[in-house]
Amino acid sequence: MKIATWNVNSLKVRLLQVLQWLKDNPVDILCLQETKLTDEKFPLTEIEAAGYQAVFTGQKTYNGVAILAKETASDIVRNNPLFPDEQQRIVAATFGKIRIVCAYVPNGQSVGSDKYRYKIEWLRALRNWLEEEKKKYPYLALLGDYNIAPEDRDVYDPVAWAGNVLVSELERVAFRALLDIGLVDAFRLFEQPEKSYSWWDYRQLAFPRNRGLRLDHILLSGKLAFLCSACTIDRQPRKWKQPSDHTPVIAELDL
DNA sequence: ATGGCGGACATCGTCCGA
């Protein structure tokens, strides 16, 4: 089976691209972030017509997450039960034996800001929740926009970015804390091209210059990592007209 | 040092993202 994640930066604007991408890449599960839609505006009809079911939680203007899947979801959870949050950033569901957690980690704005503290607290609560979830669901995958470049090799210019939000030490510690509970970065299970990124700024021709960051990740529990046969970033949709600034990340599981 | 691009909005300037 194939699972994927894509921050679409408005599902309203990107719906046709999502449907086209699913036609080209008929993955079993696609996690979306930044849908920016309230639930009553979610384009369920169009998605179902494409052969997918969906679970989602959204709000106006900001955030919003969804899981599109060919199979029916069970045990749906919206947001982290350990972290009361008005912002809709997490949806989780079970498909067969696999537990999917779709997350849109806060951006953090700038190091030391209120939003940065919120990001760190949010990540700590995510870790604490998933530590328990992993015991309940040994086949667990955490997919999403983490808004963290875990290592310098995930940054086009690590010197210029040093200490900045998205790469700061505290954020990287929070990322490694997710690895510490037994999750594995699927992308790094395999040899990868150098300068592999999943996000490029819209400005200053960042994409053609490949000035990007790897912010979107698929973390797998040990049992799933053992079954993972590939993990790739699909740069193609970033070349399309009116693209999202993020591109999809895909993992293949022998499941 | 600033703004740059793109999306959304009790829009037409401003906030936010990364």
Is the pTM higher than 0.85? The answer reads yes
A110 touches strand B (CB under 7 A): yes
pLDDT at residue number A83: 96
Confidence label for A61 from pLDDT (cuts 50, 70 and 90): very high
Q: What is the pLDDT of residue A254?
A: 97
User: Does the annotation count A154 as an active-site position?
Assistant: no
Give burial (CB, 10 Å; 0-12/13-18/19+) of A247: buried
Per-residue pLDDT tens over the stretch A83-118: 999 999 999 999 999 999 999 999 999 999 999 999
- Closest C1' nucleotide to A215's CA: B18
Q: In this predicted model, what pLDDT tens digit does every residue of A159-203 receive, in sequence order?
A: 999 999 999 999 999 999 999 999 999 999 999 999 999 999 999
Predicted pLDDT at A178: 98
- Looking at A145, A185, A216, A245, which residue is catalytic? A145
Tell me if A142 sits within 8 A of A219, measured CB to CB: yes
The integer distance in angstroms from the CA atom of A63 to the C1' atom of B8 is 12
Say if strands A29-33 and A65-69 run parallel, antiparallel, or are unpaired. Answer: antiparallel
| List of residues 6+ apart from A130 with CB closer than 8 A | A101, A140, A142, A178, A181, A183
Question: Exposed/middle/buried for A196, CB within 10 Å: 0-12, 13-18, 19+?
Answer: middle
Q: Residue A131 is encoded by which pair of tokens?
A: 């530590």
Residue matched to tokens 């990322």: A175
Q: What percent of chain A has pLDDT over 70?
A: 100
Confidence band of A55 (pLDDT split at 50, 70, 90): very high
**DSSP secondary structure string for all residues of A183-208:** EEEGGGGS---SS--SEE-SSTTTTT
Q: Which bases on strand B have an atom closer than 7 Å to a protein beta carbon?
A: 3-10, 16-18
pLDDT of residue A155: 97
Task: Tell me if residue A104 is catalytic.
Answer: yes
